[in-house]
């Protein structure tokens, strides 16, 4: 889910603060042309027919407004630093609708994005392990809440950065 211009700019501002503190943010991943987003699902392959079905189903739903509010860390080896979204029924409805379409139709779905395991978030620094984690939190805390209107949903090819908008 891609965010409105004001929220996009606010997240990019957080990326710049991280970069200035020596914590590589997503802004530095220019080969993938990252832009601030909240992912509903991640998979190795999403076939064209499944994308068409996803496009049809998501067109029937109202896109939610997100409150990106919680500075968090995924406790993995790389310790990704993120800004978590407040979960509400509208957000869960969009997530559930997407996974209803994707179930059994994609290859290599990432378990962390499945219903029941998903933590809606906007990644700030994908690798904030060790001393970078403390530096990243120090550079951002406290983070003011960011109100984000979802302006579009797309399927992004993470190798090329190409986006197929829904």
| Residue 31 confidence (pLDDT) | 42
Torsion sign across C-alpha atoms 78, 128, 19, 40? positive
Q: What total number of domains does the chain contain?
A: 1
Of residues 78 and 13, more confidence is placed in 13
Q: What is the CATH number of the domain that holds 24?
A: 3.90.1140.10
Residue 21 has pLDDT above 60, yes or no: yes
Residue 40 has pLDDT above 70, yes or no: yes
* Token digits of residue 130: 């060790």
What average pLDDT does this structure show over 31-40? 79
Residue 38 CA to its chain's centroid (Å): 3
Residue 32 has pLDDT above 60, yes or no: no
pTM of the model: 0.90
What average pLDDT does this structure show over 30-50? 83
Residue 157 has pLDDT above 80, yes or no: no
Residue 162 has pLDDT above 80, yes or no: no
Residue 47 has pLDDT above 60, yes or no: yes
Q: Would you place residue 166 in the very low, low, confident or very high pLDDT band (cuts 50, 70, 90)? A: confident
Q: What angle do CA 165, 50, 115 make, to 5 degrees?
A: 90
What average pLDDT does this structure show over 76-92? 92
Mean of the per-residue pLDDT values of the chain: 90
Residue 29 has pLDDT above 90, yes or no: no
Q: What is the pLDDT of residues 119-153, one digit of tens each?
A: 999 999 988 888 889 999 999 999 999 999 999 88
The residue segments making up the domain with residue 157 are 2-165
How far apart, in whole angstroms, are the C-alpha atoms of residue 104 and residue 73? 30
Residue 98 has pLDDT above 50, yes or no: yes
């Amino acid at each position: 889910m891609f965010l409105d211009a004001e929220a996009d700019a606010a997240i990019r501002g957080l990326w710049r603060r991280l970069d200035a503190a020596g914590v590589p943010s997503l802004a530095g991943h220019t080969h993938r042309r990252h832009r601030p987003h909240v992912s509903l699902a991640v998979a190795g392959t999403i076939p064209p027919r499944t994308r068409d079905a996803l496009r049809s189903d998501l067109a029937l739903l109202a896109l939610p407004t997100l409150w990106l509010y919680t500075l968090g860390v995924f406790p993995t080896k790389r310790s990704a630093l993120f800004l978590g979204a407040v979960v509400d029924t509208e957000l869960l409805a969009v997530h559930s609708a997407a996974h209803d379409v994707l179930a059994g139709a994609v290859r290599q779905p990432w378990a962390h994005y499945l219903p029941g395991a998903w933590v809606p978030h906007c990644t700030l620094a994908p690798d904030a392990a060790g001393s970078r984690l403390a530096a990243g939190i120090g550079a951002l805390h406290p983070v003011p809440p960011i109100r984000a209107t979802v302006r579009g949903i797309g399927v992004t090819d993470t190798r090329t950065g190409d986006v197929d908008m829904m």
